[in-house]
Structure 1
Amino acid sequence: MTDIATMKDFRTIYADTLIELAQEDSRVVVFEADLMSATGTKHFKELFPERSINCGVAEANMVGIASGLSSQGFIPFVNTFGCFATRRAYDQFFLSANYARQNVKLVGLDPGITAAFNGGTHMPFCDIALTRVIPDLVVVEPGDGWAVHHLTKAVYAHQGSVYVRLQRKGNPIFYDANQTFELGKGIIVRDGKDVTLVATGAVMLEQAILASQALEKENISAAVIDMHTIKPLDKELVLSYAKKTNAVVTCENAQMAGGLGSAVSEFLSEQYPTVVRRVGIQDLFGEVGTVEYLMKRFALTAGQIVQEAKDAIKRK
């Protein structure tokens, strides 16, 4: 396999990993909705034309067909922009895939502000909230290129439906080739004793790391946890760090309502009441802009995380 660190985009890593899986398992099939160039799966189609199905601009139908193939033993990876994967095909994914206990891997690309110039209509801030409430569904957001590769394999191996938030462009690297990834198990990226930063996805994991480094310069020790699996939440890890630091800041490129921050707050309020502050989209629609502009526009920056971390520490 090509060195992940040298690859340019998450979508390339994802598509190459699908090819690896398809070479080993004839049950792997890929579904598209006229977005193969955007999702990076063109090469998959060249290698496996009989296992590459373009359903056109009919996302709900695509999820229904994928669910039918799953019932016959296939393992479908269904790809489209996150706004269409969830809002447009929600009922089919809820009923035909999840309620029917099928094995559909739904991949929503360009989550949150990474939709950038596609603008507010294509900016799925609400997809975590929508998918979190589906019983038994696993919800995943990889944080770097290695995570994309290994978590795609873990999603394939999992028996049951999964929703993956997948950034298309860019390949930030926070891990090395030896890092292990397990569904439902967060990763301690940096240890700390004063406050815990719980982040999901590449955009916010990077900002959480930068925030931790900035806090360190002020003699504040901030742990950083990569919560790549939003559901099921790694409750054991969250609880251990809540007890250790007594202050938690969640960081997500999504609506705070119903998202990672809600999941952490709901759990801790029942098990170990802790000061929790949240960084995420605050009940707003998306808009057009660069990722850098949108991070500032929606307060998804390291500076905002630092501010919330200091406030959490004060409130202990």
Structure 2
Amino acid sequence: MSQKIATREAYGKALVELGGLNPRVVVLDADLSKSTKTADFAKHYPERFFNMGIAEQNMIGVAAGLAAAGKIPFASTFAMFATGRAFEQIRNSVAYPHLNVKIAASHAGITVGEDGGSHQTVEDIALMRSLPGMTVLVPADGPSTRAAVLAAAEIKGPVYLRLGRSGVPVLYDEPVSFTVGRANWLRRGEKAAIIACGIMVGMVLEAAGQLAGEGVEVSVLDMHTIKPLDEAAVLEAARSCGALVVAEEHSIIGGLGSAVCEAVAGGCPVPVRRVGLPDVFGESGKPAELLAKYGLTVEGLVRAVKEVLDRVK
């Protein structure tokens, strides 16, 4: 896991590939193409790229119109502005008529870093998974981001794709086994199961290795699809392990942790320890410092597993 690539970088490359495969694909950006990496698509397919300016609400409305005309629009901006500023347009212009718009939001979570709480969206998954018919994808690395982009283009309906700013370890070999709505089991163990998404998956694998060295074997699931959630995998993990830890770079309210708790409450109640931000906004700081502050580290994950196992005892 030495090589690192930001999921936004992989998104930009995947868009170029997808543009060559499907002429119906168009890309819209809110004057952030260098940061979201849609500039690569603009260079290759300028006639299918639209810089909408700093006007995210209008961008989503235009994307809805393009989808209604038979195009497959990927609308890109920072996650804070995609889900926060344009929520009403996503709800009423995209989700309500179930249009084929893909919202690719970069710079999600606290690893935006020094931009601070105003730009660190830790509630976007909660907002998007609350919308009827919305598919929510949070890939863990570069190769799985490519797979998610290609899969999103095949889905008939709205998709929210969550991407990050910082480089993350490459976990998967190509071709990636990626099926929307089906978790990837990366490790099998009987003591507990750790379910994670996005940047936390790499940390979870490190934590699982450390725990194995202490004689504690845990399962690891990459829950790259938050909605539709792979409830079968969640319940299998709950039944086989009896204790769960959920890790996400997001608030513990409304995100993956909440989705997992909803699933086990109705199917197999077991102790669940959620690792994420408590009921707070982020703040300015270096990404590593912020992750450490909120316990989103290998050490924090190891501690969370031990805490949930103590509850089982």
Same fold by TM (over 0.5)? yes
Residue type of the alignment partner of 1:218: E
1:71-220 alignment runs, 5 A limit: 71-202=68-199, 204-220=200-216
- Contact 1:7–1:13 (Cα < 8 Å) also in 2: no
Residue 114 of structure 1: CA displacement? 1.8
Residue 117 of structure 1: CA displacement? 1.8
Q: Does 1:308 align with 2:304?
A: yes
- Root mean square deviation of aligned Cα: 1.3
- Structure 1, unmatched stretches of 5+, are none
Residue 11 of structure 1: CA displacement? 2.5
TM-score, with structure 2 as normaliser: 0.96
- Contact 2:28–2:75 (Cα < 8 Å) also in 1: yes
Out of 244, 262, 265, the residue aligned to residue 266 of structure 1 is 262
> Which whole-Å CA distance do the structure 1 matches of 2:39 and 2:60 have between them?
19
Aligned to 1:31: 28
SS at match of 2:118: helix
> Which whole-Å CA distance do the structure 2 matches of 1:10 and 1:300 have between them?
18
SS at match of 2:64: helix
Q: 1:178 to 1:20 in 2, by over 3 A?
A: closer
Residue 7 of structure 1: CA displacement? 7.8
Aligned to 2:292: 296
Percent identity (aligned): 40
Aligned to 2:225: 229
Q: In the TM superposition, what whole-angstrom CA distance separates every residue of 1:92-116 from its partner, at most 9, and x where no partner exists?
A: 0011001011011001111111211
> Which whole-Å CA distance do the structure 1 matches of 2:40 and 2:276 have between them?
35
> Which whole-Å CA distance do the structure 2 matches of 1:284 and 1:158 have between them?
34
SS at match of 1:121: coil
> Which whole-Å CA distance do the structure 1 matches of 2:266 and 2:286 have between them?
39
Residue 171 of structure 1: CA displacement? 4.2
Q: In the TM superposition, what whole-angstrom CA distance separates every residue of 1:37-89 from its partner, at most 9, and x where no partner exists?
A: 11112121122111100110000110011001100100000000000010100
Residue type of the alignment partner of 1:248: L
Aligned to 2:52: 55
> Which whole-Å CA distance do the structure 1 matches of 2:43 and 2:161 have between them?
24
Q: 1:194 to 1:114 in 2, by over 3 A?
A: same
Aligned to 1:15: 12
SS at match of 2:237: helix
> Which whole-Å CA distance do the structure 2 matches of 1:100 and 1:252 have between them?
30
Q: 1:162 to 1:227 in 2, by over 3 A?
A: same
1:238-277 alignment runs, 5 A limit: 238-277=234-273
- Contact 1:144–1:172 (Cα < 8 Å) also in 2: yes
Residue type of the alignment partner of 2:260: V
Residue 8 of structure 1: CA displacement? 4.2
> Which whole-Å CA distance do the structure 2 matches of 1:143 and 1:103 have between them?
24
- Contact 2:185–2:219 (Cα < 8 Å) also in 1: yes
- Contact 2:28–2:76 (Cα < 8 Å) also in 1: yes
Residues paired across the two proteins, number: 311
Residue 17 of structure 1: CA displacement? 1.2
Residue type of the alignment partner of 1:132: R
TM-score, with structure 1 as normaliser: 0.96
Q: Does 1:283 align with 2:279?
A: yes
- Contact 2:184–2:222 (Cα < 8 Å) also in 1: yes
Residue type of the alignment partner of 2:30: A
Residue 311 of structure 1: CA displacement? 1.6
